[in-house]
């Protein structure tokens, strides 16, 4: 299948952000006097949106209508510490350079809140042009809802079947399937893209993504 555009997940796919996320949430927990968590706990919680992560980290008796209060404090800490330890995965810059040089439209579709997504993209990815940068908002629901992905397809007038969706989680692969796009899982992130019925194509290193796109895109 010819690939005419690419959608990327963000955290765990393009860049490694888990330490800054974990540190920010632990700062929130410490402020309220709640137990802190290890990095490996956050690896299991990331991928379904900031609210889900915050709720999972709270003591069970605190997971109620006050979650939004904790979420705001977490987001404030993360905003202030968004670039302490995070970094692009090796060779991701070369992949984005190649896509840019070949004039292939690309987008980001993440479950990260929209405002935080924009901050990350401004800090780490301002070298490249993304046609759409879509995080979670009132307008775009969390993945696997395909609204964000299909918005990008409509914006660039491209059939979904010709769009590659790259991600590190099962949620990303489900999004691709529901949207009618081409799923490609990456193993270097935080999730398990290929599980059970979702036996998708997988790559193990970012440089393989460059090879995959180079072969599949018809220039």
Calculate the average pLDDT of the chain.
93
pLDDT (average), residues 153-159: 98
Q: Are 100 and 48 contained in the same domain? A: no
Asked if residues 96 and 33 have their Cβ atoms less than 8 Å apart, the reply is: no
Q: Domain with 26 in it: what CATH number?
A: 1.10.150
The residue among 132 and 3 whose pLDDT is bigger is 132
- Domain CATH for 167: 3.40.50.1000
Are 164 and 213 contacting, i.e. CB atoms less than 8 angstroms apart?
A: yes
Residues 92, 69, single domain; the answer is: no
Q: In which domain, by residue range, is 118 found?
A: 5-16+86-216
- Of 57, 80, 103, the last residue of a domain is 80
Same domain, 74 and 120: no
- Cβ–Cβ < 8 Å for 187, 206: no
Indicate the angle between helix axes 67-80 and 18-32, nearest 10 degrees: 130
Q: What is the mean pLDDT of residues 18-28?
A: 97
Q: Is residue 117 located within the same domain as residue 75?
A: no
Choose the weakest-confidence range: 135-139, 151-155, 191-195, 203-207: 191-195
CB 79 within 8 A of CB 116: yes
Same domain, residue pair 145 and 114: yes
pLDDT beyond 90 at 82? yes
**pLDDT in the model for residue 195:** 67
Q: Under 8 Å CB-to-CB from 213, ≥6 apart: which residues?
A: 3, 6, 95, 98, 99, 104, 164
The mean per-residue pLDDT over the stretch 138-160 comes to: 97
Residue 209: which pLDDT band, with cuts at 50, 70 and 90?
confident
Q: What's the rounded mean pLDDT across residues 164-190?
A: 95
Whether the predicted pLDDT of 218 surpasses 60 = no
Same domain, 76 and 104: no
- Please say if the pLDDT value at position 219 is more than 50: no
Instruction: Provide the pLDDT for residue 100.
Output: 95
Q: Specify the pTM.
A: 0.93
Does residue 210 surpass a pLDDT of 90? no
Same domain flag for 196 and 106: yes
Domain count, the chain: 2
């Amino acid at each position: 299948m010819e690939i005419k555009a690419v959608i990327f997940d963000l955290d765990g796919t393009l860049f490694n952000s888990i330490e800054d996320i974990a540190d920010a949430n632990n700062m929130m927990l410490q402020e309220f006097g709640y137990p802190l968590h290890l990095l490996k706990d956050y690896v299991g919680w990331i991928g379904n949106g900031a609210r889900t992560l915050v709720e999972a980290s709270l003591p069970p008796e605190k997971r109620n209508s006050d979650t939004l209060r904790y979420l705001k404090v977490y987001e404030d800490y993360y905003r202030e510490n968004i670039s302490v330890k995070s970094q692009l995965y090796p060779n991701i810059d070369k992949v984005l350079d190649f896509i840019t040089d070949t004039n292939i439209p690309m987008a980001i579709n993440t479950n990260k809140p929209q405002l935080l997504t924009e901050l990350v993209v401004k800090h780490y990815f301002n070298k490249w042009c993304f046609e759409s940068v879509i995080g979670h908002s009132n307008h775009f629901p969390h993945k696997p809802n395909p609204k964000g992905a299909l918005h990008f397809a409509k914006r660039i007038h491209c059939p979904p079947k010709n769009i590659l969706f790259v991600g590190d989680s099962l949620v990303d692969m489900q999004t691709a399937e529901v949207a009618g796009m081409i799923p490609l899982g990456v193993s270097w992130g935080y999730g398990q893209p290929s599980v059970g019925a979702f036996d998708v194509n997988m790559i193990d290193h970012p440089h393989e993504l460059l090879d995959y796109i180079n072969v599949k895109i018809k220039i």
